[in-house]
Structure 1
Amino acid sequence: MSSSTPSSLPERIELRGEGLVLRDWTEDDLAAMPELFDHPDIAYWTPIVSPLDDAAARARLAKARQLRAEGTSILLAITLDGGAPLGEIMLRRAPEGTEIGYAVGPAHRGQGLAARAVRVVAAYAFEEWGVDQVILELEAENAASVAVAGKAGFTLLDVPLIKGEEKGRPYELQTWGLNRQ
């Protein structure tokens, strides 16, 4: 294993590609988080806390740093130029495999940000973590995320649905995969 495996994640990460800069969240981003993530569809489809107020944004930043320190997950702001965050991309070791997750603020949708960010993070996982496959776990009814999976080159895997409950509602997740080229 290389020194960049999840057990020893770098303290700072910035990924560039596809017209994006994916960078660490900072205290300067706290004010933007509610605008990006305090939205009914993000509350419905993702585990992101809702309502997402200033205190929840601070807790989210602290949790992102804790997960990085533990070597389990990377959460990065999706930006065009390293400036204002437009959404978030996550890469984590999950029991099912190396998983990518994302959320794009409602005002920034329709620009292909999620699919581009997913491709950049997948390339990072292949190159730096040495994995052979990355996965997305999506609800079939989440048409926007299913479209992102297709645009990013993922295919639906023939594996059992992941069933659970989040925020008081049951879910069934499909697993989509992208293999190293």
Structure 2
Amino acid sequence: MTEIRTPRLLLRRWTDDDLVPMAEINADPQVMRWIGDGSVRDLEETAEDIERWEEEWDDEGFGLFAVELLASGELIGFTGLSVPEFLPEVLPDVEIGWRLGAPFWGQGYASEAAHAVLEFALQDRNLDRVVAINRLGNEESENVMRKLGMTYDHETKHPEFGFALHVHFIDLTEYAA
């Protein structure tokens, strides 16, 4: 089982116990406002998401990690790698992404977890480049991207919903973990 420990977090594969807390995160309109069309996701949709994320681990050798607080064991969201099939123009690049519950924002958890995932991408998966894609206006995510040392690449449109997206990248051959 793939696990990464940081000073405050455990990044790990998904378990059945993660379904309800992740569904609660996905049901929060504040969390979901920047994701897809902004719709919240229910328990069944979250179960489908987790199943898909686990399949990506099996198919690609990487995926989205469940992120829990070491101190309490509480699930706070996810951080990890995925194939951004919704935006074919950036393929074959791999995307880094994160989604944390609102009570965990502003405490450095997203940056801490994402730094660990970049190290995983470089050292364990031998990726040369990783992208991050965010909806225009999501300054919080852009701030995490800057902390990771990512560079703005270009603006494009979401192929399904039409809103502006920013694509950032980091060349992992130059990344200092």
TM-score by length of structure 1 reads 0.80
- Displacement of 1:131 after TM fit? 1.7
- C-alpha contact (below 8 Å) 1:33/1:52 kept by paired residues: no
- Displacement of 1:18 after TM fit? 4.4
Q: Determine if the alignment matches structure 1 residue 52 to structure 2 residue 52.
A: no
- Displacement of 1:31 after TM fit? 1.4
Aligned residues: 166
Q: Determine if the alignment matches structure 1 residue 26 to structure 2 residue 18.
A: no
- Displacement of 1:149 after TM fit? 0.9
User: 3-state DSSP class of the match of 2:115?
Assistant: helix
Coordinate RMSD, CA, aligned: 2.2
Q: Determine if the alignment matches structure 1 residue 116 to structure 2 residue 112.
A: yes
- C-alpha contact (below 8 Å) 1:133/1:177 kept by paired residues: yes
Q: Determine if the alignment matches structure 1 residue 151 to structure 2 residue 140.
A: no
Percent sequence identity over aligned pairs? 27
Report the counterpart of residue 101 of structure 1 in structure 2.
97
Distance 2:33 2:109 in 1: 20
From the superposition, tell whether residues 101 and 111 of structure 1 become closer, same or farther in structure 2 (CA, over 3 Å).
same
Unaligned runs of 5+ in 1: 1-11
Structure 1 outlier segments of 4+, above 6 Å: none
- C-alpha contact (below 8 Å) 2:26/2:42 kept by paired residues: no
Distance 2:33 2:61 in 1: 24
- 1:16-64 CA-to-partner distances (Å, cap 9, x unmatched) read 2243211111101111112212122333312498432222222222112
Report the counterpart of residue 171 of structure 1 in structure 2.
163
User: 3-state DSSP class of the match of 2:81?
Assistant: strand
Unaligned runs of 5+ in 2: 85-90
Given candidates 24, 31, 46, the residue that maps to 1:35 is 24
TM-score by length of structure 2 reads 0.82
- 1:67-126 CA-to-partner distances (Å, cap 9, x unmatched) read 222227511111221822101113024415121011110111111111111111000000
Distance 2:51 2:106 in 1: 29
